[in-house]
Amino acid sequence: MEITAVLFDMGGTLLSYENRQQMGSAFVTALRRLGLDPADPAVIEARHRAGEEVEREYAARRSFIHRDLFRDRVSRTAALMGVGVPAEVLDRFDDEQRTAVVEHLAPMPGVHETLRLLRERRIYVAVVSNADDDYLEPALARHGLTPLLDHWTSSEEADSCKPDERIYAYSLAKAGRSAAEALFVGDSPAHDVAGARRVGMRSVLIGEPGLVAPLSSGLRADEPDWQVRELLELIPIVDAANHRRATR
């Protein structure tokens, strides 16, 4: 069947995590407010252990708010160090974490051209992201992606996090497309690829060198229909599926 819609993940797909160290600055600041030295080996170990524990817990859930996940990482790290976390520290962390992520996500190479070329082909283009509303919408707007999209769906809006089937069904209903005519593009074999396959969508895996998609612990990874290194490689895939000569 022809591809009439392409649905994209956001982080690691349309927007890069290349500045991930700066994205973690809010966590470091929160630790310092609690009197913990982020460079202390004991704190580093506690942070690593807390991160693994929280990730396992949240990865097993069908739906969650990422704000809660981020706060739990701070609280769990502090608890392992025997430190309590005042509510005001977590509230400040919320704001600073959101700002750090939105400001330091960077457009992937070719993202604007890829979206424009798809729209020129009358392909429906949307974002389906495991992100809260107050992360997703500002990030898309900051990098000029909003005008190039037909819609965007957050896990908060859908009350479902990939690879749960509900978020795919929800976004397909918004697009007015069947799973068979939609292509999902993402960086996580366990979230984007496996979830898309469950509902009958074809998938494309794209990844940044040296990065592993988060929150994949304990989840089964599936093989994509295609794998690419750059977003512009999607155009010949769509053109071939639609029996059209590729043009650039």
Instruction: Let me know: does 15 contact 152? Beta carbons within 8 Å.
Output: no
Q: What is the pLDDT of residues 53-66, one digit of tens each?
A: 999 899 889 999 99
Average pLDDT, the chain: 91
Task: List the strands of the sheet with 226-228, edge to edge.
Answer: 151-154, 124-129, 5-8, 182-186, 202-206, 226-228
pLDDT digits (tens, 9 = 90+) for 66-109: 999 999 999 999 999 999 999 999 999 999 999 999 999 999 99
Domain topology for 5-18+105-241 = Rossmann fold (3.40.50)
Give me the half-sphere count of Cα atoms (radius 13 Å) on the Cβ side of residue 106.
12
Q: Which has the minimum average pLDDT: 21-25, 94-98, 171-175?
A: 21-25
What are the φ and ψ backbone dihedral angles of 185, each rounded to 5 degrees?
A: -120, 125
Please determine, for residue 213, whether its predicted confidence score (pLDDT) is greater than 90.
no
pLDDT in tens, 120-161: 999 999 999 999 999 999 999 999 999 999 999 999 999 999
pTM for the full predicted model: 0.90
CB-based contact 51:73 (threshold 8 Å): yes
Q: Which residues contact 39 (CB under 8 A, 6 or more apart)?
A: none
